[in-house]
Amino acid sequence: MPRVLIADKLSPAAINIFAERGVDADVKTGLSKDELLKIIGDYDGLAVRSATKADKEVIAVAKNLKVIGRAGIGVDNVDIPAATAAGIVVMNTPFGNSITTAEHAIAMMFALARQLPAADQSTQAGKWEKNRFMGVELYGKTLGLIGAGNIGGIVADRANGLKMHVIAYDPFLSPERAVEIGVEKVELDALLKRADVITLHTPLTEKTRNILSAKNLAKTKKGVLIVNCARGGLVDEAALRKLLDEGHVGGAGFDVFVEEPAKENPLFGAENFVATPHLGASTVEAQENVALQVAEQMSDYLLTGAVTNALNSPSVTAEEAPRLKPFVALADKLGLLAGQMVDFGVKAIDIAYEGDVTQLNTRPLTAACLAGVMRPMLAEINMVSAPAVAKERGITVSESKQDDSPIYDSLIRITVNTEKGKRSFAGTVMAGAPRVVEVKGMDLDAPFSPTMIYVNNLDKPGFIAGFSAQVAEAGVNIATFNLGRVAAGEEAIALVGVDQAPSSDLMEKIRALPHVKEARALGF
């Protein structure tokens, strides 16, 4: 009989699920690190919330451990790379608190629209300032969702019930899915210009960090209400405070902050600012749901091998692993390149395999491609969750194979179909290392560097000199420089590996060079 250690407090109903399924569950909460190290080797599964730390030391001595289940979303307390290396599946329960978090965002909207916290404080102080608190109706107002995934979709449903008009910015929201959840899909600038209320429902990634920057906040309507129950860092807090004080932003409600616990914050003390201490998932129902889900998922895996909501790589047999490894790396990096090169309206992703790679198990390769494409906007995505997320977002995924490859032994090509057209990227493995061999139909041969600059320009004399001068002036060292073009004088591309991440100022200067059509900073 499999044994599971429940190291943090779970609902008694969750414990019953383990027992009913035939899993022996021991409840031992509040263990010290030393106590955990002494006993973890006896267990097949470990169920935690956020208190217990499943770090490298714990995983190193957990010789029988097969699965770690986190009752909740965040897994900062689990060393996923160490678990993966040890062959331990790490699961979370990403949907158990979705309704609770969505309801918290709706509650924030009402609190801001009717100034409830300030009105409550004033009334209980005996002031009865009836004329001071003039609110606004949510009925008929335009709600702008930044992020329309699971939680954003629930907020949209509730807002539609309030007879609000809902618009949404989400690069991975298909037109069909937008109709299904009752929203109008728009670009970010349009959302900022039109929304009376803005709520954020997106992970924190380099692409979404400060998505409501000072520049973007300035584009909003006067009197806009802003709600963030997603992640700290999505909004420039200092810039928002300035606009609150100036009266441009009518109110803001935050459940999350850049630094937590938030003992101090630029927003604290601002008029019509409402704060809660990261309560998004804090309801009896949500805590019950995630506990039940983690018990069911862990039991299923231990008894049948079924994997649900896993956060690390899918299983690969010992025989497949050595041959697959370099191609998984290629698929991931090629997808990440594609994901950083498209900004709006992903409708379909096609992955084509040519040559020897077609003889391998391509399922993990396709999953790695999808995860790479979506990672710039969805930080938590991985090879296991990517196919399901693509399906949820209404993205059509197709896979094709061709036994022969005209030039290379093996080739992987990703074509991303967006509402603005198609973009294609191809790569291969040479001497065990992934390389880019085609971008926008132009041939080149470039290794992946941790930091790169991509430029699309007209093939005219002086570009390389001008580019190099700007990079040198910024103190950025060039490691590799690879070029491709259609023909002399026509379109050309450059993929440049650099030793330091280029600043936004440098990228603007590169974009301003003569004949440059597009320039992007890339990270791998």
- CB–CB of 342/418 below 8 Å? yes
Among 260, 320, 490, 518, the active-site one is 260
Q: What is the pLDDT of the chain when averaged over all its residues?
A: 92
| pLDDT (0 to 100) of residue 355 | 95
Whether pLDDT at 315 is above 60? no
Among 201, 231, 393, 413, the active-site one is 231
CA-only gyration radius of the chain, Å: 25
Whether pLDDT at 306 is above 60? yes
CB-based contacts of 262, cutoff 8 Å, min separation 6: 268, 275, 277
Q: Record the pTM.
A: 0.75
Whether pLDDT at 364 is above 70? yes
Residue 491 designated active-site: no
Closest by CA to 138, choosing from 78, 199, 70, is 199
Question: Given this structure, which CATH class describes domain 447-524?
Answer: alpha beta
Position 313 confidence tier, pLDDT thresholds 50, 70, 90: low
CATH 2.60.40.1240 given to domain 98-275: no
| pLDDT (0 to 100) of residue 314 | 62
| pLDDT (0 to 100) of residue 182 | 96
Report the CATH fold assignment for 314-439. Answer: 60s Ribosomal Protein L30; Chain: A; (3.30.1330)
Q: What's the pLDDT tens digit per position in 229-266?
A: 999 999 999 999 999 999 999 999 999 999 989 999 99
Whether pLDDT at 45 is above 80? yes
375 compared with 45, residue with greater pLDDT? 45
Least-confidence region, from 292-296, 391-395, 504-508, 516-520: 391-395
Among 278, 323, 423, 515, the active-site one is 278
CATH superfamily to which 3-96+285-304 belongs? NAD(P)-binding Rossmann-like Domain (3.40.50.720)
According to CATH, where is 3.40.50.720 located in the chain?
A: 3-96+285-304, 98-275
Position 405 confidence tier, pLDDT thresholds 50, 70, 90: confident
| pLDDT (0 to 100) of residue 76 | 78
- CB–CB of 407/388 below 8 Å? no
Q: What's the pLDDT tens digit per position in 320-354?
A: 668 888 999 999 999 999 999 987 778 999 999 99
Position 186 confidence tier, pLDDT thresholds 50, 70, 90: very high
Residue 176 designated active-site: no
According to CATH, where is 3.30.70.260 located in the chain?
A: 447-524
Whether pLDDT at 515 is above 60? yes
| pLDDT (0 to 100) of residue 398 | 95
Q: What's the pLDDT tens digit per position in 372-388?
A: 999 888 876 777 678 87
**Side-chain half-sphere CA neighbours of 330 within 13 A:** 30
Residue 260 designated active-site: yes
- CB–CB of 401/358 below 8 Å? yes
| pLDDT (0 to 100) of residue 82 | 85
According to CATH, where is 3.30.1330.90 located in the chain?
A: 314-439
307 compared with 170, residue with greater pLDDT? 170
Position 189 confidence tier, pLDDT thresholds 50, 70, 90: very high
Q: What's the pLDDT tens digit per position in 64-109?
A: 999 999 998 878 789 988 887 777 889 999 888 899 999 999 999 9
User: CA 332 from chain center: how many Å?
Assistant: 15
| pLDDT (0 to 100) of residue 307 | 75
